[in-house]
Chains A and B, each alone.
Chain A
């Protein structure tokens, strides 16, 4: 839920990166953190296990600066992807204004992706939102891997709503900003 603070002239929006474990959600945020102008970002916060798996969430605040007198901020979050953290994902989703679903394009991850998007749909209903009308962007990540599924297959089974989607290799930054630009604009359009 976006917060528009007229008194302090600030707008805050929350974008959540959702998807299965090791699909590249944290890598997306790390690339943004590395590449964006330091004035436009705060520190990245990661609550991870000793083995660097996301335990609770990653958090990266971005600052667009002042636009027409309003300072606009996007707060990027990731959810933990591992199956056992389902309730944690629900907690992080609370108050989101937009979602990026990061799918691992590898064939052996297909079923997990399908389950994850079904879980996202259910979690959105739990917090009183409808995924069919909510700002959503799909990212087909890991396109550099040898065993990826063709994009039309991913589109058919994971993107029934036909929302904007982007091929990506988050580890080298490909597709990361295209995804972020689109979800940011979608979120602003919904305000």
Chain B
């Protein structure tokens, strides 16, 4: 499938995503919930524990997920759609939303993995519907953000910052 060139998240959709993450976090008593793009970019974060390291966590978790999908192919398995990483104190459950996003829940030993699995499936379905709206809205919104003036200023900034 041809990948999209970009995804544009509007205020309304981000609010909707954040509400889903917050509800999931509260219902499971998790410490954090994140939505990542499969490229590793952080779409939204809820919870205080991960905010500072969100960018690096996003890159690593997306890398791990992408790598596990390659493992699935080598085993002639259709797909690995979920990953569970278990620590002494903290656990991470990652699940795919459609073919585009990763829903990540970070929780401690007081939360049961079964609850996380069930509720994240529900959240994942809701996020899938948001993704559909984002996909259909992306082309329309792009030109209003990435206008000529913006592009020219970004080029100037690149020249200024990326130099010897």
Which of chain A's residues have a CB closer than 8 A to the CB of B10?
A: 6-7
Are the CB atoms of B3 and A1 closer together than 8 Å? yes
- Say which one of B54-62, B76-84, B85-93, B123-131 lies at the interface with A: B54-62
A107 touches B (CB below 8 Å): no
Are the CB atoms of B14 and A91 closer together than 8 Å? no
| CA gap between A184 and B160 in the complex, in Å | 12
A190 touches B (CB below 8 Å): yes
Interchain pairs with CB closer than 8 A, number = 149
Q: A3-B7, A6-B8, A14-B41 are in contact. Are A181 and B162 (CB under 8 A)?
A: yes
Contact digits for A5-23, partner B, Cβ 8 Å, 1 yes 0 no: 1111000101000000000
Nearest residue, chain B, Cβ from A92: B63
Are the CB atoms of B164 and A173 closer together than 8 Å? yes
Which of B15, B43, B153, B162 is A68 in contact with, Cβ under 8 Å?
Answer: B153
Which of A3, A62, A77, A97 is B9 in contact with, Cβ under 8 Å?
Answer: A3
Are the CB atoms of A188 and B154 closer together than 8 Å? yes
- Interface residue tally on A, bucketed by range: 35 or more
Nearest residue, chain A, Cβ from B14: A7
Q: A14-B41, A91-B63, A95-B39 are in contact. Are A4 and B6 (CB under 8 A)?
A: yes
| CA gap between A64 and B149 in the complex, in Å | 16
What is the distance, in angstroms, from A26's C-beta to the closest C-beta of chain B? 15
Which of chain A's residues have a CB closer than 8 A to the CB of B69?
A: 91
Are the CB atoms of A42 and B56 closer together than 8 Å? yes
Q: A7-B11, A40-B161 are in contact. Are A67 and B150 (CB under 8 A)?
A: yes
Are the CB atoms of B66 and A91 closer together than 8 Å? yes
What is the distance, in angstroms, from B67's C-beta to the closest C-beta of chain A? 5
B48 touches A (CB below 8 Å): no
Task: Tally B residues with Cβ within 8 Å of A.
Answer: 49
Are the CB atoms of B74 and A57 closer together than 8 Å? no
Interface residues of A in 29-79 (CB under 8 A from B): 32, 35-37, 40, 42-43, 45, 56-57, 59, 61-62, 64-65, 67-68, 70, 72, 75, 77
Which of chain A's residues have a CB closer than 8 A to the CB of B154?
A: 64, 67, 72, 188
Which of chain B's residues have a CB closer than 8 A to the CB of A45?
A: 56, 59-60
A128 touches B (CB below 8 Å): yes
Q: A129-B3, A177-B162 are in contact. Are A95 and B37 (CB under 8 A)?
A: yes
Q: A40-B161, A191-B146 are in contact. Are A3 and B43 (CB under 8 A)?
A: yes
Which of A42, A67, A173 is B55 in contact with, Cβ under 8 Å?
Answer: A42
Which of A5, A8, A128 is B2 in contact with, Cβ under 8 Å?
Answer: A128
B136 touches A (CB below 8 Å): no
Which of chain A's residues have a CB closer than 8 A to the CB of B37?
A: 1, 3, 12, 95
Which of chain B's residues have a CB closer than 8 A to the CB of A5?
A: 8-9, 14, 43
Which of chain A's residues have a CB closer than 8 A to the CB of B162?
A: 32, 36, 177, 180-181, 184
Give me 12 A-to-B residue pairs in the complex whose CB atoms sit less than 8 angstroms apart, sorted by A's number: A1-B3, A3-B37, A45-B60, A64-B154, A65-B161, A88-B70, A91-B63, A91-B69, A94-B62, A95-B3, A173-B164, A184-B158
Beyond the given A4-B146, A88-B70, A91-B70, could you list 15 further A-B residue pairs with CB under 8 A, ordered by the A residue number? A3-B6, A3-B7, A7-B14, A7-B15, A14-B39, A14-B41, A61-B55, A70-B150, A72-B157, A92-B66, A94-B39, A95-B37, A129-B2, A185-B155, A188-B158
